[in-house]
Chain A
Amino acid sequence: MAYLRKCYFKFYLIVFLILPASLLGEASNYNMPIGVTEVSKEIFDLHMLILWICVWIGVVVFGIMFWSLWKYRKSKGAVAADFDDHFWLEIGWTVVATLILVVIAIPSTKVMVTAYDDAEGEINIMVTGHQWKWHYKYLEDGISFFSNLSTDQEQINNQIPKGEFYLREVDEPLVIPINTRIRFLITGNDVIHSWWVPDFAVKQDAVPGFINTAWTNVPETGIYRGACTELCGIKHAFMPVVVRAVEQAEYDAWVAEKIVLAEQEKMLTSKEWTKAELVERGESFYLTNCVACHQVNGKGIPPVFPTLDGSQIVLNDTQRQIEILMEGVQGSAMAAFGSQYSEVDIAAVITYTRQAWSNGKNGDSAIVTPQDIVAYKNRTEL
């Protein structure tokens, strides 16, 4: 008996103390994150309010139901009454239900008006969803870059152990200063994506051809992780959002550095590139941006993603390959990368694919230089 009582005690402890406490816990694995912004905290409170209202309605309604089932069970000899209507009871519970809804609607409307404020931000960032990566462009400073998943394919394929931030890490996170009103202008490049950072309670669809807005003002430094939440194709689960919120001074330094890097990048186009340099740069570009579809071995996943290894175009048709890289292939996942990447990157990756795998010995193994891409651009723009 004593043992049973102990078990009961443990049970009550779990149900009434530990469970609710952990439900309210900061980094909970089973409740909505409280987040760090004013809006996310208000939304969390709203969520808990409605949750508790639902729980109490549930306790009352299910309580009456199970009590009736128990009390009026036939096996105990219950005899059925014969009533089948009660006008005022029907009116009564309709009114009560309506009142509860009004109680919920008022705070919801208030939070909604705050969350949906689309006034200009101190910093305005254009967020563009691509299959399958995010592109960020700082409208004031002109900085722009892609943010790719940085988890190894081997981790995904279970060949090596998974890291702490498996599928929640990127090569280059979005950087924002704290205590600053940031406005996001969100759009899509190909299909609809959705940009979500739970800790900011910002989730906005990235619709191609339309620009949505969202805003945040983050009071604490830290790394905030989110995800794409609108089905956008094969790699939908593999385009996380990572935001690094930093002090203003650190942010300014980061901006200055990015501007210098961008200048250097521009200089590279006019530089004389050797084959080895192009192949090296092309390989790292390929491994970041192309492997998702065309695979490390260049074999692709036919028929959806064509093979590059042994492809007639990659072997012997430089012009066509440049054209595909620049303009994309209509109706396929191959986007027009010409507008997304530098001439150097496009040239490098073409050169790389023409040397890699069996292509180097079977084809013309031609070198494409950044100048060739510039020439292509000049030709097509005429």
Chain B
Amino acid sequence: MSTVVETHDHGHHGPAKGLTRWLFTTNHKDIGTLYLWFSCLMLFIGGSMAMVIRAELFQPGLQIVQPEFFNQMTTNHGLIMVFGVIMPAFVGLANWMIPMQIGAPDMALPRLNNLSFWLLPMAFGILLSTLFMPEGGPNFGWTFYAPLSTTYAPSTVNFFIFSVHIMGISSILGSINIITTIFNMRAPGMTLMKMPLFVWSWLITAYLLIAVMPVLAGVVTMMLMDINFGTSFFNAGGGGDPVLFQHVFWFFGHPEVYIMILPAFGIASHIIETFSRKPIFGYTSMVYAMSSIAILSFVVWAHHMFTVGMPLAGELFFMYSTMLIAIPTGVKVFNWIATMYKGSISFETPMLFAIAFVALFTIGGFSGLMLAIVPADFQYHDTYFVVAHFHYVLVPGSLFGIIAGVYYWLPKWTGNMYDETLGQLHFWLTFVSVNLTFFPMHFVGLAGMPRRYPDYALQFADFNMIISVGSFLFGISQLLLVFIVIKSIRAGKKAKPEVWEGSGKLGLEWTLESPAPYHTFTVQPEVK
């Protein structure tokens, strides 16, 4: 690959000064940075809510908060982590990396890009403001099942609906931008099957977003109508059906789950090939596996509703279709391991997080397979076993993917290497505490502790205490990540263009200087 990089013309193309740089920016790198810092802020807000939950559950009995506030914490923790942390972080990485990986000067629609970001603080400002209103914020779980979220909801539910609408618009606009960029702005010679896997993962994710975000908007609009305009979509008394809510919600919700993991697959693939010093094994099957997962994600939604009273044929259909997902997911894990096999492996922080990602995500996959088995799900459903499952795929899955990506590309963004010793410390603290937090949840769940309980029976006490201790450690450890990132922004060993040994041949981003100049690839590189 050869590139022409303009780096000396900062005169009037550099960033503006002060606050307006960030308010009015149309630069993909600035917007990527905004997304990532926003997501970081939300991680600590959503994380503090998790700390409140764990503090209350430290012992049986009600000590710190009342059930009403506890329910607001579980609800907002879920909403913020899903819509405010994982999704924006992936969009931030997409903004930074997709143009650099495909050899484009910027995103295809830069002004739209600015709008997509600035909608988010509005949405979350509205959502969080409800917590300070007299009736309190949403308290019906992040899945907001009707009629608890309609007839029986606090009136602040209207703010929540508005906020979800804004988040949805932001995601759809962002996805349109990503698809347009990928299809129109690839460097000459970069065919679809030569695209980096992170770009592939985001192309698929963006289509999923465009397909399901309108469904989410639809379901909250139906709620809005039921609450304020006398319709009865979800009210059996008026001829509606509360279960309809769940079908529509999970038709959005299940693809959403893969929206939150596919980009992490892409990131892990890059990191594993870099630090194994060996090209990714089975590139084609990786692309097909991600596509299959995306397509299957539209026909498995009712596995979230096995106890809702579906007919036998329905239960069996959703059990089989869900089990099928294990095949492409398994193929991806096998490919990662085959990439490591006969490599020359080193263990820098991004690689450690990527390895932990593969191992712990697989554990989440196993419990996912168990949950797919309908009769067994009658025992697992809505217990801490489910909480353990989805936290294993979302925390050591998605979040580790994001953290790995941040360590991996940070030197490219800042021009400075991060502190490797602190990075390793951060990894081990995080790795130990994440398992301490989420592994015992399998046990309390199997033993029968239901989720969303502010108080529990005495036989669950020991494990809950361990879980709480683990979660506090996990929470505190993440402050270290912020410290490491800020330290790398301010100073550090200068990074070479090819930050990681041998990465130069792995992607266009490594042919750029470190830090990447404000404008890159103003002349498109040629991919052979």
Contacts and interface: CB of A to CB of B under 8 A. Distances in A.
Contact of B319 (A30, A54, A105, A303): A105
Interface string A47-59: 1001100100110
A284 interface: no
A28 B277 contact: no
A79 B340 CA distance: 12
Interface string B432-456: 0000000000111011101111111
Interface in A32-76: 32-33, 39, 42-43, 46-47, 50-51, 54, 57-58, 61-62, 64-65, 68-69, 72-75
B319 A112 contact: yes
A156 B456 CA distance: 10
B452 A112 contact: no
A334 to B, nearest CB: 11
B23 interface: no
A192 interface: yes
A82 B278 contact: yes
Interface stretch (A2-10, A90-98, A265-273, A311-319): A90-98
A3 to B, nearest CB: 26
A167 B148 contact: no
Given A68-B337, A80-B276, A84-B281, A234 B307 contact: no
Nearest to A62: B359
Contacts of A233: 71, 139, 148, 152
Given A47-B376, A72-B342, A237-B453, A229 B383 contact: yes
B475 interface: no
Contact of B237 (A78, A209, A333): A209
A340 to B, nearest CB: 16
Nearest to B363: A58
B241 A209 contact: yes
Contacts, number: 289
Interface stretch (B56-64, B251-259, B511-519): B56-64
B227 to A, nearest CB: 9
Contacts of B524: none
A203 interface: yes
Interface in A88-115: 89-90, 93-94, 97-98, 101, 104-105, 108-109, 111-113, 115
A331 interface: yes
B30 interface: no
B283 A94 contact: no
A90 B358 contact: no
Interface stretch (A170-178, A193-201, A249-257, A374-382): A193-201
A163 to B, nearest CB: 9
Interface size range on B against A: 35 or more
A111 B316 CA distance: 11
A11 interface: no
B154 interface: yes
B32 to A, nearest CB: 29
A65 B359 contact: yes
B359 A231 contact: no
Interface string A19-31: 0000000001111
A229 B383 CA distance: 7
Contacts of A213: 309
A264 interface: no
B443 A73 contact: no
Nearest to A102: B323
Nearest to A209: B236
B375 to A, nearest CB: 4
B458 A166 contact: yes
Contacts of A97: 326-327, 330-331
Given A33-B448, A78-B343, A191 B276 contact: no
Given A43-B376, A85-B283, A331 B151 contact: yes
B64 to A, nearest CB: 11
Given A29-B443, A72-B345, A85-B284, A208 B236 contact: yes
A203 B312 contact: no
Lowest 6 A-B CB distances belong to which pairs?
A209-B236, A30-B443, A212-B309, A54-B366, A81-B342, A237-B453
Interface of A: 28-33, 39, 42-43, 46-47, 50-51, 54, 57-58, 61-62, 64-65, 68-69, 72-75, 78-86, 89-90, 93-94, 97-98, 101, 104-105, 108-109, 111-113, 115-116, 131, 155-158, 162, 164-168, 190-192, 194, 196, 198, 201-205, 207-210, 212-213, 226-238, 301, 303-304, 331-333
Interface of B: 60-63, 66-68, 71, 134-136, 139-141, 145, 147-148, 151-152, 154, 235-237, 241-243, 276-285, 307-309, 312, 315-316, 319-320, 323-324, 326-327, 330-331, 333-334, 337-347, 355, 358-359, 362-363, 366, 369-370, 373-376, 378-379, 381-383, 442-444, 446-448, 450-460, 462-463
Given A93-B330, A210-B243, 7 more contacts: A61-B333, A68-B341, A72-B341, A86-B281, A166-B457, A208-B147, A231-B452
20 contacts: A30-B444, A32-B447, A47-B370, A61-B337, A61-B362, A68-B342, A74-B344, A81-B342, A84-B282, A84-B283, A97-B331, A167-B455, A192-B147, A203-B381, A207-B242, A210-B241, A231-B141, A233-B152, A238-B455, A301-B68
